[in-house]
Amino acid sequence: MNKKQVLRVSVDIVMTILLILLMAYSLVGEAAHEWLGVAMFVLFVLHHLLNRPWHNRIFKGNDTPYRTVQTALVILAFLTMCGSMISGVILSRTVFSFLGTRGGQAAARTIHMLCAYWGFVFMSLHLGLHWNVMLHMAGRHHKKKSAVRSRTVRIIGWLVAVYGVYAFWKRSILGYMLLQIHFVFFVPSESLILYFLDYLAIISLFVCAGHYLACALRKKGNR
């Protein structure tokens, strides 16, 4: 990989880690959550700057099913990120406290929760759409192909994704996304590592879904 590709992959990996940590609001602390949110937004902007060639081609070429879904997910992720940042600034008690925002706290809290959980899903699906690129890069480091290794990695991925279904239910993600639950509940004594692993499994679930969706869309586009 060249330096630009290494930077892209590094940014994506750090963003994934931050995405999980941001979901653990009470476990990492309010001040840390705000700083992590700022870091996430900066990396989000950097991610788009590093992918300028894709933006330049967005209105060029044929609109295949894959490209349409990809563009829709990018727009949705962008909107939820902006919603998270704006509502986060309104709710801020540390990083942006100097702004002295007081009004609209209740609405901002609802918007922040909606954008956080929907954005989590959109970004995970977006990562899944590009997972074949990650697999291709990983394959370059293993010149000797191994059917056993590939099958083992695939089985592990499926097992983690299956656990992700349970973690999705356990963490009541759908309830937050549909505003059936208006406040995020945390167990103060819960291990941050276990929380991290649960959300990593949920990301794996949507990465897996995004990957197979991309395969189906590419196959449909080639008909």
**Of 132, 126, 129, 139, the residue nearest 1 (C-alpha):** 139
Region 148-162: what's the mean pLDDT?
Answer: 85
> Are residues 158 and 208 in contact, defined by beta-carbon separation less than 8 angstroms?
yes
Instruction: Measure the CA–CA gap between 200 and 194, rounded to whole angstroms.
Output: 10
Per the model's pLDDT, the better-predicted residue between 71 and 220 turns out to be 71
Instruction: Measure the CA–CA gap between 25 and 23, rounded to whole angstroms.
Output: 5
- Left (φ > 0), alpha (ψ -120 to 50) or beta: where does 78 sit? alpha
pLDDT, tens digit, 9 for 90 and up, residues 117-126: 999 999 999 9
pLDDT at 223: 54
Cα four-point dihedral sign 145, 149, 155, 160: negative
User: What is the domain extent for residue 8?
Assistant: 3-221
Instruction: Measure the CA–CA gap between 135 and 89, rounded to whole angstroms.
Output: 37
Structure tokens at 154: 């695939």
pLDDT at 62: 73
The C-alpha angle 86, 51, 4, rounded to 5 degrees, equals 120
pLDDT at 211: 92
10 pLDDT higher than 80: yes
Per the model's pLDDT, the better-predicted residue between 189 and 111 turns out to be 111
Domain count across the chain: 1
90 pLDDT higher than 90: yes
pLDDT at 25: 87
pTM (2 decimals)?
Answer: 0.89
pLDDT, tens digit, 9 for 90 and up, residues 177-211: 999 988 888 887 888 899 999 999 999 999 999 99
129 pLDDT higher than 80: yes
> Are residues 84 and 116 in contact, defined by beta-carbon separation less than 8 angstroms?
yes
Instruction: Measure the CA–CA gap between 29 and 52, rounded to whole angstroms.
Output: 35
3-state secondary structure of 29: coil
Instruction: Measure the CA–CA gap between 84 and 36, rounded to whole angstroms.
Output: 12
Q: What percent of the chain has pLDDT over 90?
A: 56
Per-residue confidence at 140, pLDDT binned at 50, 70, 90? low
